[in-house]
Amino acid sequence: MLSIRIGHQRILDHLILGAAQTCEKDMHLEHASLVPVVSETWDSLCDALLERKIHGAFLPIPMAMDLFDAGIDICLLMFVHRSGRLFLQSRTPTTLASLKNTSILLSSEYSVDNMVLHRFFASANFHFDKFQDPDAPEFVRQPDVIQEIVPDSIMLQMMSLDEKQDIAGCVMCQPFASRCMDQGMAKMLCATDDLWQDHPCCGFVLYKDVLEEHPLAVEEILSVFCESAWQLHRLQTNEYEPKIALAAAEFLHQDIQNIHEFLSSSKINFRPDKLVPEQKALDIILTYMSREMKILPEHTNMDGFIIPEPLNNALKKLPGYMEGSETG
């Protein structure tokens, strides 16, 4: 039996992994076991993947695309959620212009969060980018709103110390977002789903040689993830097993009541059929983040990155899946 080590963060986005261990106990796997490996930052998670301390990881899609383009032999097997992040504002601007020369905090430059905010500000002809050297050539446009990249836990510290109110807001995942609002440091402006409906965010990537050498083990793990996603989808509709709610609460170190609030306010979507990786969504991300944002190379290689067949096979075996996918 292969113990598949999967890196993740302890956030709502990765709740499939949190609930999966409960599902795994009921499914009696023959070829694989699931070993979650938690990281506090995206950098440490990527380091663990690059050093092959883990077999795979739950990563932001643009980050995974960049690693693949750099020659890391990974593949994208599934989206692990749709939508789910919150755009918080730390003050109440009277006009959009009052946001000029302020900062927005993000957990990663290589994230869909960054992309949707860039599109949001671009619609108002605002440039959202990292701070540029003031002595840069005139053709280098200075950002109207500055992006700062910091881990979610550090965002809380920065906002609590922002006496000059230089920070206009942040994009956060749960449970950090609720902690920020509960402490009076910010209030919710919108969910990222309001800026790009049903967008992909994080995906499950795995080294290709693991898939090639252990296809049955990988398909078993994907079956566990499908069941976990299905149970979380039911949790959002209040037709759920109490043990799933308990597993979610334990994973996020929260009360069960908070889990229901997180699932509702973030507009996160765990419906299993929505988790099949699709080229169209990746093309949208690549086109925008290369041409408009200049973050990803315009000719980023995506050949062989998506491998949807194992997940599709797992979905066909999911009890109640067809009924659930029809009713949504």
Question: Which of these three, 177, 194, 211, is where a domain ends?
Answer: 194
Give residue 326's pLDDT.
43
Range of weakest confidence among 93-97, 209-213, 301-305, 314-318:
93-97
Specify whether 171 is located in the same domain as 31.
no
The four Cα atoms 259, 265, 266, 268 give a dihedral, to 10 degrees, of 70
One domain for residues 131 and 161: yes
The answer on 218 and 153 residing in a single domain is no
Arithmetic mean of pLDDT, 214-224: 96
Q: Would you say residue 162 has pLDDT above 60?
A: yes
What is the domain-level CATH number for residue 159?
3.40.190.10
Q: How far apart are CA 82 and CA 9, in angstroms?
A: 16
210 shares a domain with 171: no
* Domain termination site, one of 142, 167, 194: 194
pLDDT at 182 (0 to 100): 93
The encoded tokens of residue 267 equal 């507009």
Predicted local confidence at residue 139, as pLDDT: 59
Q: How confident is the model at residue 292 (pLDDT cuts 50, 70, 90)?
A: very high
Residue 322: what pLDDT?
47
Pairing of strands 56-60, 2-8: parallel
pLDDT at 271 over 50: yes
- Report d(CA 203, CA 184) in Å as an integer: 32
Mean pLDDT, residues 16-27: 92
Same domain assignment for residues 78 and 210: yes
Mean pLDDT across 59-84: 97
CA distances from 55 to 73, 191, 320 (A): 11, 32, 30
The reply to whether 219 and 307 lie within a common domain is: yes
Q: How far apart are the first and last CA of the chain?
A: 35
β 202-207/74-79 pair status: antiparallel
Phi, psi of 169 (to 5 degrees): 170, -170
307-327 pLDDT, tens per residue? 999 999 999 888 765 444 543
Over pLDDT 70: what percentage of the chain? Answer: 93
Confidence at residue 98, expressed as pLDDT on a 0 to 100 scale: 82
- The mean per-residue pLDDT over the stretch 292-317 comes to 93
Q: Do 139 and 287 have their domain in common? A: no
Q: Could you tell me if 110 and 217 lie in one domain?
A: no
Question: Average of pLDDT values for 194-217?
Answer: 97
pLDDT in tens, 74-92: 999 999 999 999 999 986 6
Scanning the structure block, which residue is given the tokens 């229901």? 260
| Amino acid letter for position 35 | V
Tell whether the model's pLDDT for residue 59 goes beyond 50: yes
- Residue 79 and residue 203 in one domain: yes
pLDDT at position 99, please? Answer: 85
pLDDT at 240: 79
**Phi and psi at residue 253, in whole multiples of 5°?**
55, 50
Q: How many residues does the chain have?
A: 328
Q: What is the pLDDT of residues 111-157, one digit of tens each?
A: 999 999 999 999 999 999 987 666 666 656 788 999 999 998 899 89
Residue in 6, 5, 18 with CA at minimum distance from that of residue 270:
18
Q: What is the average per-residue pLDDT within 251-274?
A: 94
The whole-chain average pLDDT of the chain stands at 91
What's the structural domain count of the chain?
2
Last residue of a domain, one of 163, 194, 225: 194
Domain residue limits at 284: 2-83+199-327
- Whether residues 281 and 240 share a domain: the answer is yes
Q: How many angstroms separate the CA atoms of 302 and 299, rounded? A: 9
| Same structural domain, 111 and 161 | yes
Residue 154 and residue 208 in one domain: no
Q: 12 with 84: CB under 8 angstroms?
A: yes
Q: What is the distance between the alpha carbons of residues 8 and 271, in angstroms, rounded to a whole number?
A: 20
- Three-class secondary structure assignment of the chain: CEEEEEEECCCHHHHHHHHHHHHHHHHCCCCEEEEEEECCCHHHHHHHHHCCCCCEEEEEHHHHHHHHHCCCCEEEEEECCECCCEEEECCCCCCHHHHCCEEEEECCCCCHHHHHHHHHHHCCCCCEECCCCCCCCCCCCCCCEEEEECCHHHHHHHHHCCCCCCEEEEEECCCHHHHHHHCCCCEEEEEHHHCCCCCECEEEEEEHHHHHHCHHHHHHHHHHHHHHHHHHHHHHCCCCCHHHHHHHHHHHCCCHHHHHHHHHHCCCECCHHHHCCCHHHHHHHHHHHHHHCCCCCCCCCCCCCECCHHHHHHHHCCCCHHHHHHHC
Residue 37's pLDDT band, with cuts at 50, 70 and 90, is: very high
- pLDDT at position 261, please? 93
